[in-house]
Amino acid sequence: MHVDIVPVGEVDAVVKREASSALRAIYESQVTVHDARPVPAGSYDSSRDQYRAEEFIDLAKRVGDGEKNIAITPKDLFYHRRNYVFGLAYLGGNGSVISTYRLRTSSDGGFSNRSADDIFSDRVRKEVIHEVGHTLGLEHCDNKRCVMNFSPTVREVDVKEENLCGSCQRDIL
């Protein structure tokens, strides 16, 4: 599988590196990281001071030419009625997005003794793997340790691992 990463806005080098390495590790993907693109015009909702996630997915699909394409942005994203999303993907599609905006917020409550930078990197890896998992047809998984578990807050993100559980792994084979 080939995954194209499309940075949108100012994405840190460490984020691009972690995302690429996670995709290689979990999906054995080849990864291409494109040059950064500007935030899609019209994606900003001034009443919410947030950006519509769908438009970032559309951009990833326009720019990328991988089997799967993922936009990565520091902008705060929302989708329909959800106050915010860490990421979004359409099941079985070829486009997805993650936002790092809220992945930096708050620590993990001290449940590990990892540094804030390491915790942030782990979250980026898990969210990228999660959204690309949706594009591979995986739905949310009840296993709290599985990367496909639904994680509405960083707390759940921190609890899960970056791996697919056995059942999810079988579902993409």
Q: Which residues are catalytic?
A: 131
**For the residues of 117-167, what is the DSSP string, one character each?**
HHHHHHHHHHHHHHHHHHHTT----S-TTSTTS--SSHHHHHHS-SSPPHH
Please identify which residue in 8, 148, 154, 157 interacts with Zn ion, judged by CB under 5 A: 148
CB 94 within 8 A of CB 137: no
CB 162 within 8 A of CB 123: no
Between CA 90 and CA 82 the distance in angstroms is 16
Please identify which residue in 26, 124, 157, 165 interacts with Zn ion, judged by CB under 5 A: 165
Task: Decide whether 34 or 157 has the Cβ nearer to Zn ion.
Answer: 157
As measured in angstroms, the least distance from the Cβ of 57 to Zn ion is: 13
Between CA 167 and CA 152 the distance in angstroms is 22
Interface pattern 107-146 for Zn ion (x via CB under 5 A): ----------------------------------x-x--x
Task: Decide whether 6 or 147 has the Cβ nearer to Zn ion.
Answer: 147
Task: Decide whether 19 or 146 has the Cβ nearer to Zn ion.
Answer: 146
The residues of the shown chain that bind Zn ion, judged by CB under 5 A, are 141, 143, 146, 148, 165, 168
